[in-house]
Chain A
Amino acid sequence: MWRRSGESVFGALVLLVLVVEAALLAFLTRGFALRLIGAIPSLRLEATVSWAVSTTALLLVVLVVYVIGYHHLSGIWQRRDLGQLQAWGETWVKVLHGDAPLPQGPLSGPAEEALLALREILHGDEGILLQDMLRDTGLAADLVKRLTSRFLVRRLVALEGLARARLLEAVDPLFVSLDGKEPAVRLLAARAIARTLGGLALGEPDEGRTLRFAASLRRAELPKGVVDEVLLLLEGRAKHLIRDLLRDPPASAALRRAALEALGRLALLDMLPIAAPALTDSDGEVRAAALRAILRIGYIPPDLLPRVAALLRDPLEFVRLHAARAINLVPGKTALDALVECLGDSSWYVRRSAAEALALRGPDGDAVLEEMSRTHEDRFARDMAAQVRADARAQAADRLSGGVRR
């Protein structure tokens, strides 16, 4: 508030100075023009110049005093706020530990901030106690009430607070915010819901809310990065949501990609069969995301192998690149043959990816690379095999010399 008001006053002050200076310059110009034609005596012009210069100096002094005073006061108030925050932090920890009585609401800004900061970092028994403290002080109800404020900033601050508070009773009001008009509100609401549901103790029923969340996400049109973050925040509880986003009718391509990224990042091995249809998706980015999920998990179920192998001939270069990396997860000759075929790909990136995959297969892969560097019918494939072998040897030598130095 102080910062916003202070900056507004500064803006108004600068505008006033500019207006006065413009008027002074106009007055001076007029004075010089009149003096040129002899309409006023030089003494009067000198008086006008002196008056203009002293007014300018005065205005500059006012501006400088304001800026210095503003920063000085800001510093004092910032230190006071930090001190209050620290004191409230210590008070809440004592309350949590049973060493002090619970302060009654309404709470001041630093008290709210300190309580939310503590709730953000704690779970388990202390987390449950803090939730009760949020309710008993009235802060929980107040945050929910602020979601309906007509001021956007107030609503955003409340959403941020609820994301930290992780209160189950706030999820339904948060769904209303997620269906709202402002993109920033939808984003923060999605994050708050994900943090709340992701923080639920294992065994608490959540499927209904998670499916409602999936339906809201389908409508909310959030950027893919936000959906990625939301799914990761849900952690183990992301399963229902991922399943929903990949089932028929499919969600948008961006949501399907986000679901596949989360499936891989959360290493949900048991859900890989759900990713199978994505390997033949009409959207290349989705096919690539399915391959990345497989790569992150590090395993190709046997029934998915033909689909992954088929993607080695995908029309899109980046899909073939991921397919070449994924096929390397398969042990044995099948993968070696597939990678040799990829060495002759028209794309430099796919050839490089296939050669690097072969190099990672140890002596067997190196032997194939050596043979291909001499015998492959494609000149570019031979060059790539030789180059990657040389790079692998150089890296091994570097590692060895690093080890000796250590």
Chain B
Amino acid sequence: MTSILVVDDDPAVTNVLKLFLESSGYAVVTAQGFVAGKKALESSLPDAIVLDLNMPDGLGLDLLSHLRVQLQRKTPVLVLSGNRQESTVLRALEMGANDFVRKPFSPREVTARLRKLLP
């Protein structure tokens, strides 16, 4: 079964994505915050990642860099963020994010975009 890791500090986001993605047939693991996300990245091999950029205990961009540079993984990453700065979006894409969805978001849109990213 295709597995997806959702990293976000907001339990409302992880809850809603878990339910919608699971109902679409994916196995979902959630991690609330940067530290939990980093641990989950190091201990598992998800097929795709949904990543929040702004978390109280660390930046999603740092997690993305950790994934691409240190762990040398090409796992598709969909960035989910309420940040409206165009530069932040561009930076995330430059650092290897595969797609970007802004908050507030539609869970159906996230599911559709993830489906496109998955092999």
Q: Give me the interface of A with B, judged by CB distance under 8 Å.
A: 85-86, 89-90, 93-94, 96-97, 114, 117-118, 120-127, 199, 232
Contact = CB atoms under 8 A, between A and B. Distances in A.
Given A93-B19, A122-B106, A126-B108, 18 more contacts: A85-B11, A86-B11, A90-B15, A93-B16, A96-B16, A114-B12, A118-B12, A121-B10, A121-B13, A121-B103, A121-B104, A121-B105, A122-B104, A123-B104, A124-B105, A124-B108, A125-B106, A126-B16
30 contacts: A89-B11, A89-B12, A89-B15, A93-B15, A93-B16, A93-B19, A94-B19, A97-B20, A117-B10, A117-B12, A118-B16, A120-B12, A121-B13, A121-B16, A121-B103, A121-B105, A122-B104, A122-B105, A122-B106, A123-B104, A123-B105, A124-B105, A124-B108, A124-B109, A126-B106, A126-B107, A127-B104, A127-B106, A199-B104, A232-B84
B74 to A, nearest CB: 18
A229 B98 CA distance: 29
A126 B17 CA distance: 12
Interface residues of B, number: 17
Interface of A is mostly: helix
Interface string B81-107: 000100000000000000000011111
A94 B104 CA distance: 19
Contacts of B19: 93-94, 97
B108 A125 contact: yes
A405 to B, nearest CB: 13
Nearest to B12: A117
A184 to B, nearest CB: 23
B23 interface: yes
Closest 6 CB pairs between A and B?
Answer: A124-B106, A123-B104, A117-B12, A93-B15, A93-B19, A89-B15
